[in-house]
Amino acid sequence: MIHKQIIGKKGEQLAVDYLISNNYKICHKNWRKGKDEIDIIALEDDFIIFVEVKTRTSDFFGQPESFVNQRKQENMIRAANAYVEEKDIDKEVRFDIISIILSNNKTSLKHIKDAFNALS
């Protein structure tokens, strides 16, 4: 596995641990529909939450969440629609981003709730 993939997997595990510790129920990790993927699908109260995890080793090129561009959002929305339809989900949908910076001495995690919506 290359360094970038290792960092990504570590970030996703940190995000899962964070969500669980904040009383979210994890339904799926790395759920795929065609070429589209959702990093984490979780439940909280009356919401089904589709989470994109962005992990970087620094913020030199910008905050990790700034890399969730319009195209990525459209892919997530398409995958979320497929998931909701396939699983016959009747809950409010929310799109969150978990932004993580893993540096040598510390880890920074930011949870951005309702980061975008299907009408964006």
Residue 103 has pLDDT above 90, yes or no: no
pLDDT tens, position by position, 34-73: 999 999 999 999 999 999 999 998 887 888 898 999 999 9
Task: Return the closest-CA partner of residue 59 out of 5, 113, 115, 110.
Answer: 110
Q: With 0.75 as the threshold, say if the pTM is over it.
A: yes
Q: What is the domain partition of the chain in residue ranges?
A: 3-116
When comparing pLDDT for 61 and 95, which is higher? 95
Domain 3-116 coded CATH 3.40.1350.10: yes
Q: Please compute the mean of the pLDDT values over residues 74-94 and round it to a whole number.
A: 95
The pLDDT of residue 1 is 63
Confidence band, pLDDT 50/70/90 cuts, at residue 119? low
CA 19 – CA 40 distance, rounded (Å): 10
Residue 22 has pLDDT above 70, yes or no: yes
